[in-house]
């Protein structure tokens, strides 16, 4: 048990700069993903048009 | 600055993972090259006959830009060893140690696959295939093979940078015609004098890195004449878009004037009497070449915006 805790304590410790950069990378990835969601939504509307709801049951 | 050994070491140990900022990943995309790609592709989109929904046109442009950026990232991943040895490239994210080679490789592959798939699924599969070919040609044929093996590296490799307007044309029309190929030829012939002017300025760097650029392998004299040769070929190539029916008389006049000015700058390189004069002439041609390509493509856009009628196509009409 104590060995496991020691291992956990020996894990990677990020510096303040690394933490800040990781946060900015995470935000950038989130923005890209949100952009892709919007793109997929808009392109679906553009390509299917009014027929988007018109599908055989 | 880091050397080859430490780059490989980081690759194996994973050291440096997580050090990169968003700006470092942005730099991997070679944003300045990307801006030229976006601009030439935009011209291809605008000139192509047919209608493409604005959303799909923006999507196509974005995919072409990201595909080009992805090939830049793959280039920086593979070339990190020689980039580290050259003053112009030593501060790039991978040789500087801010991005690990593995991160650059993963980033490049992910963006390549994403841009090709989105272009294919949303716009056109021929355009997507051309984009995939462009990325392959730049990352594998040019970067991994030609760049380190032949002084004709940038002549042949220039095909990758010349394809964006063709991809854009295919995105609108679903085919490849002679007209976009005339734009391809323009960029293709423009590339050697543009890069050789830079290579003359950076000959020592390239020699130290073992990159067989023309000035390193064939010498300065040959390079000067080759710059002049390709510059002279640019003059008729510049008029070709008009012969293919996508440009009018104003473009022809501007292209001739700009093309002859290009030759004039190249003649100054041939006639340079000493090293300072040669460096000055090469610096001038390098700067002018960027302005030249921008102005030529801008003229095509201006003509279209102003409603100038293109000349009847003499070839490929």
The string of pLDDT tens digits covering residues A28-57 is 999 999 999 999 999 999 988 777 667 666
- Yes or no: say if B93 and B20 are a contact pair by the CB < 8 Å rule: yes
The string of pLDDT tens digits covering residues B184-241 is 999 999 999 999 999 999 999 999 999 999 999 999 999 999 999 999 999 999 999 9
* Predicted structure pTM score: 0.90
* Residues of chain B contacting A39 with CB distance shorter than 8 Å: 59, 118
What pLDDT was estimated at residue B315? 79
**What's the average model confidence in pLDDT over B45-53?**
94
Whether A25 is in a domain gets the answer: yes
* Nearest chain B Cα distance for residue A18, angstroms: 6
* Residues of chain B contacting A47 with CB distance shorter than 8 Å: 56, 122
In chain A, whose CA is at the least distance from the CA of B114?
Answer: A36
H helix runs in B142-219, sequence order: 153-162, 164-173, 178-201, 203-209, 214-217
Question: pLDDT-derived band of residue B314, with 50, 70 and 90 as boundaries?
Answer: confident
**Contact state of B19 with A18 under an 8 Å Cβ cutoff:** yes
Q: Is the pLDDT of residue B100 over 50?
A: yes
Q: Is the pLDDT of residue A7 over 60?
A: no
Q: Is the pLDDT of residue B304 over 60?
A: yes
| Among candidates A22, A43, A47 on the partner chain, residue whose Cβ is nearest the Cβ of B18 | A22
Whether A57 is in a domain gets the answer: no
Structural domain range at position A39 = 16-48
> In b/e form, how buried is each residue of B55-86, taking b as 16+ CB within 10 angstroms?
ebbebbbbbbbbbbbbbbbbbbbbbbbbbbbb
Longest CA–CA span in chain B (Å) reads: 62
Number of domains in chain A: 1
* Nearest chain A Cα distance for residue B262, angstroms: 41
- Yes or no: say if A14 and A22 are a contact pair by the CB < 8 Å rule: yes
Whether A42 is in a domain gets the answer: yes
Percent of chain B's residues with pLDDT above 90:
91
What pLDDT was estimated at residue A15? 85
Whether A2 is in a domain gets the answer: no
**What's the average model confidence in pLDDT over B20-25?**
94
Q: Is the pLDDT of residue B92 over 70?
A: yes
What pLDDT was estimated at residue B4? 54
**What's the average model confidence in pLDDT over B73-93?**
94
Q: Is the pLDDT of residue B114 over 80?
A: yes
Burial of A56 (0-12, 13-18, 19+ CB in 10 A): exposed
Whether A53 is in a domain gets the answer: no
Q: Is the reported ipTM for this assembly greater than 0.95? A: no
Whether A6 is in a domain gets the answer: no
> In b/e form, how buried is each residue of B168-178, taking b as 16+ CB within 10 angstroms?
bbbbbbeebbb
What pLDDT was estimated at residue B1? 41
A19 at interface of B, judged by CB pairs closer than 8 A = no
* Nearest chain B Cα distance for residue A22, angstroms: 7
* Nearest chain B Cα distance for residue A4, angstroms: 23
**Contact state of A28 with B122 under an 8 Å Cβ cutoff:** no
Question: pLDDT-derived band of residue B317, with 50, 70 and 90 as boundaries?
Answer: low
What pLDDT was estimated at residue A16? 87
**What's the average model confidence in pLDDT over B14-39?**
88
Question: pLDDT-derived band of residue B151, with 50, 70 and 90 as boundaries?
Answer: very high
The string of pLDDT tens digits covering residues B262-290 is 999 999 999 999 999 999 999 999 999 99
* Separate counts of helices (H) and strands (E) for chain A: 2, 0
Selected residue of B20, B27, B51, B113 to mutate for chain A interface (largest A Cβ count, 10 A): B20
- Yes or no: say if B211 and B89 are a contact pair by the CB < 8 Å rule: no
What pLDDT was estimated at residue B57? 97
Whether A9 is in a domain gets the answer: no
Q: Is the pLDDT of residue A1 over 50?
A: no
Whether A44 is in a domain gets the answer: yes
Alpha-carbon Rg for chain A, nearest whole angstrom, is 22
């Amino acid at each position: 048990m104590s060995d496991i805790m020691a291992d956990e304590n020996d894990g990677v410790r990020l510096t303040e700069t690394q933490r800040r950069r990781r946060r900015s990378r995470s935000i950038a990835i989130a923005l890209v993903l949100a952009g892709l969601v919007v793109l997929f939504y808009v392109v679906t509307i553009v390509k299917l048009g009014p027929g988007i709801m018109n599908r055989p049951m | 600055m880091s050397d080859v050994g430490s780059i490989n070491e980081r690759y194996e140990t994973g050291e440096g993972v997580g050090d990169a900022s968003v700006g470092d990943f942005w730099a991997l995309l070679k944003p300045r090259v990307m801006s030229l790609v976006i601009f030439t592709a935009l011209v291809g989109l605008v000139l192509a006959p047919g209608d493409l929904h604005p959303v799909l046109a923006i999507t196509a442009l974005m995919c072409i830009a990201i595909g080009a950026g992805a090939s830049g990232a793959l280039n920086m991943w593979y070339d990190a060893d020689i980039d580290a040895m050259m003053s112009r490239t030593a501060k790039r994210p991978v040789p500087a140690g801010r991005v690990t080679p593995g991160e650059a490789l993963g980033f490049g592959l992910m963006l390549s696959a994403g841009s090709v798939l989105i272009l294919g699924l949303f716009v056109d599969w021929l355009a997507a295939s051309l984009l995939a070919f462009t990325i392959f040609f730049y990352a594998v044929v040019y970067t991994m093979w030609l760049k380190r093996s032949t002084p004709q590296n940038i002549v042949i490799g220039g095909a990758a940078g010349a394809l964006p307007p063709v991809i854009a044309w295919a995105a609108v029309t679903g085919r490849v015609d002679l007209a976009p190929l005339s734009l391809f030829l323009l960029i293709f012939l423009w590339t050697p004098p543009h890069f050789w002017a830079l290579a003359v300025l950076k000959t020592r760097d390239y020699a130290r890195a073992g990159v067989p650029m023309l000035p390193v392998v064939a010498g300065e004299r040959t390079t000067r004449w080759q710059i002049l040769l390709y510059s002279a070929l640019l003059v008729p190539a510049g008029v070709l878009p008009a012969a293919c029916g996508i440009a009018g008389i104003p473009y022809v006049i501007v292209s001739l004037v700009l093309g002859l000015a290009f030759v004039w700058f190249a003649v100054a390189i041939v006639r340079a009497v000493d090293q300072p004069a040669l460096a000055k002439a090469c610096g001038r041609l390098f700067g002018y070449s960027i302005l030249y390509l921008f102005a030529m493509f801008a003229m095509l856009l201006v003509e279209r915006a102003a409603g100038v009628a293109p000349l009847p196509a003499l070839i490929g009409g």
